[in-house]
Each structure stands twice: as structure tokens, then as C-alpha cells.
A and B are shown apart, each in its own frame.
Chain A
């Protein structure tokens, strides 16, 4: 089974801090994604990557950036955290037409 590991389950950060959310997968999948989940809004795509050093904006990229230096690792960066970025962040991987495998999520609270 593909394992997708998100480094933290819960994080509390202060407004204005730079925040790094890490995601590591162990099955050599090309595609990696970052979503956030909010009540009533479902899962919204922030950024995705189809290959190393490659990134594409999703539907809500503002306030975020990403890094993919190695195939197995996809990092989401909040350049200057704000309270409206309090959310559940979900990383996912995929290969081909088989759907996603998600990590367990990181619940981020910005105070």
C-alpha cells in the first residue's frame, strides 16, 4: 500500500509566521497535491506537481507556495500565516487513472 505521511497532525502558529507543511510518499508516484478542507467548502486544490521541480497552481494558491526538490517530498509553504489559513490541510499522491491516496491531514490553527 502507498503510504503518504504528513509530518504533523496538529500545528498552532502565530500570524505572520512562515509555516512549512511536509508530505512524503513512499511509492514513487509522479503526482502530488495539496488540498485544504473547510466546512461547507469541501476540498479545494491549492497546488499540485506532476514531477520534480514542477508545480502548478490550483484553485486557491494565494498566500501559499510549494517546493518539490525530490520526487517523494512535496512541501506546502505559508509565506506569512494568516487566521484565514486556519484549516485542515491534506496531501495526496496519484499515478495514472487510479484516484488519490491521501495523508492523514494536518490541522493548522493560526492565532
Chain B
């Protein structure tokens, strides 16, 4: 039972354009969401997060949007750069007492010149 879903396994975007990565979840108890970026042969690195009390969080070129009613979040990267080419995982967790993250299946982003 996949509680966090990334339905697009891959995305290709031209440099300078916007990249939009999507994530859906099924568990209404999730209250904190994160995006991680992973290069080959490296561990994932934290990118940006959002609490369920917000609907938007921005950090430089990266913005995460949360639509609780639709159980959907998205990551926007503007402008996209070739160095953004990586696999992106969304993750979610619930409750203040547990740190266990549930990850999606990942989306491979390729930014071409």
C-alpha cells in the first residue's frame, strides 16, 4: 500500500524553464512533508519541507505547494539548471512522536541545455 505516490517516474525540462514535480498521499494524518534530492552513488539530501499548517514554502529557486484537500504537493524549481538533474523523492510523516518518514518512488528530473 503506497501511501506516498510520485506518478511521474521521469521529467525532462529545458534549462531556464520551470520544473514541476508532483506527489500525492493517501494518509490524512500526515502533517509534515519533505523533498529530497539524490544524485547517483550519493545519499539523498534534504531540499525543502512544509508543515501541514502552511500551503506554501519558498527557498530560493525552490517552492513547495501543499493542497491538503487534494492530498497533493508539488515542488517547483525556477529557473531549472543542469545541476538540478537528479532523482527527487517526496516524503511524509505524521505525529509529533515519531520521526519515521514514508517516501515516494521518486521522479528523475533531467534538465537539458
Instruction: Give a binary string over A37-64; 1 marks a CB under 8 Å from any B CB, 0 the rest.
Output: 0001111110010100000001000000
CB–CB A94/B99 < 8 A: yes
Assuming A90-B43, A90-B44, A101-B46, is B89 touching A42 (CB within 8 A)? yes
B105 at the interface (CB under 8 A from A): yes
Residues of B within 8 A of A45 (CB): 100-102
CB distance from B31 to the nearest CB of A (A): 10
Q: B32 to A97, Cβ gap below 8 A? A: yes
With CB as the reference atom, state the residue of chain A lying closest to B34: A99
Report the bound CA distance from A35 to B38 in whole Å.
14
By secondary structure, the A interface counts as strand
A99 and B42 in contact, given A41-B105, A42-B103, A43-B103 (Cβ under 8 angstroms):
no
Complex contact B104–A42 (CB within 8 A): yes
Contacts of B70 in A (CB 8 A): none
Whether B82 sits at the interface, judged by CB under 8 Å, is no
Interface size class of A (residues with CB under 8 A): 20 to 34
Q: A40-B105, A42-B106 are in contact. Are A97 and B42 (CB under 8 A)?
A: no
B9 on interface, CB distance cutoff 8 Å: yes
Q: For chains A and B in complex, what number of residue pairs have CB atoms within 8 angstroms?
A: 57
Chain B positions 32-57 with a Cβ under 8 Å from a chain A Cβ: 32, 34, 36, 41-46, 49
Question: Closest Cβ of chain A: how far from B23's Cβ, in Å?
Answer: 11
Partner of A42 from B34, B96, B105 at Cβ < 8 Å: B105
Q: Please name the residue on chain B nearest to A42 by beta carbon.
A: B105
Chain A positions within 8 Å of B34 at CB level: 99
Report A's interface with B, CB cutoff 8 A.
4, 9, 31, 33, 35, 40-45, 48, 50, 58, 90, 92, 94, 96-97, 99-105, 107
26 contacts between A and B (CB under 8 A): A4-B43, A33-B100, A33-B101, A40-B105, A42-B103, A42-B105, A42-B106, A43-B44, A43-B103, A45-B100, A48-B100, A90-B44, A94-B99, A99-B49, A99-B91, A99-B101, A100-B36, A100-B101, A102-B43, A102-B45, A104-B41, A104-B42, A104-B43, A105-B41, A105-B43, A107-B41
